[in-house]
Amino acid sequence: QKEVEQNSGPLSVPEGAIASLNCTYSDRGSQSFFWYRQYSGKSPELIMSIYSNGDKEDGRFTAQLNKASQYVSLLIRDSQPSDSATYLCAPLMSAGGYQKVTFGTGTKLQVIP
Amino acid sequence: DGGITQSPKYLFRKEGQNVTLSCEQNLNHDAMYWYRQDPGQGLRLIYYSQIVNDFQKGDIAEGYSVSREKKESFPLTVTSAQKNPTAFYLCASSIVVGGLARAGRAKNIQYFGAGTRLSVL
């Protein structure tokens, strides 16, 4: 089992729709979760962080966390063509007595005008 | 302007040559990281450093070396032992590595430089 699993996509949604990006992780003890957006050829940029079960909203973005199910998701409302990018899920996970951020391989989102 | 500066943006390596990628940050972060990204792949950790004069191997350290002589700087050398160096190299920093005091969760957030694309001639 991979430490962080994401569907690679591409996930295609029409402009104005809700895009739903999902992520599962293997470390039951993970407490912090980050979502990064990476445009083609560019470096990742942080868009959301979430630490508690439930939803966290920031503008058009909502992160959802369910620690019991080891599942975290990112919803993008009113999707825009400028949201077309790869979204990386990055939980903070235990590794040999310390903790490190582990990046998933990402889901490519395409927003169709 | 606070941030992370990587240079050069593009780099070409000849057979048998060592090359060094620069990473400088003025965010006063203690932790710095180097990742490698191949086309269509995720980020793989090469090395990280939690404090000056100390660093640890990541998942794919073979063929790479680093130093951390100053808090602001964490250069990566791609040695001739790295047989497949063509990739996008990303440097990142965070306030700390790990450590999850309830009030300090945000300290693990990593911020990235613009990256260096390395190709082989």
Q: What pLDDT shows up at residue B96?
A: 76
What single-letter DSSP state applies at residue A89? E
Q: Which residue of A43, A49, A105 is the best one to mutate when testing the B interface, meaning the one whose CB has the most B CBs within 10 A?
A: A43
Residues 6+ apart with CB under 8 A from B21: B6, B7, B8, B11, B34, B75, B76, B77, B78, B89, B91, B116, B118
Q: Would the CB atoms of A98 and B97 count as touching at under 8 Å? A: yes
The pLDDT tens digits of the residues spanning A50-82 come to: 988 999 999 999 999 999 999 999 999 999 999
Task: Give the nearest partner residue to B109 out of A31, A34, A88, using CB atoms.
Answer: A34
Q: What pLDDT shows up at residue B103?
A: 41
Residues of chain B in contact with residue A27, where contact means CB-CB under 8 angstroms, are none
Task: Give the nearest partner residue to B108 out of A8, A101, A106, using CB atoms.
Answer: A101
Residues 6+ apart with CB under 8 A from A51: A31, A32, A33, A65, B105
Q: Would the CB atoms of A100 and B97 count as touching at under 8 Å? A: yes
Say what percent of chain B tops pLDDT 90.
69
Q: What is the mean pLDDT of residues A31-57?
A: 94
**Is pLDDT of A33 > 70?**
yes
Q: Sorting pLDDT into bands at 50, 70 and 90, what band is B11? A: very high
* Residues β-bridged to residue A64: A55, A73
- Phi, psi torsion values for B64, nearest 5 degrees: -125, 155
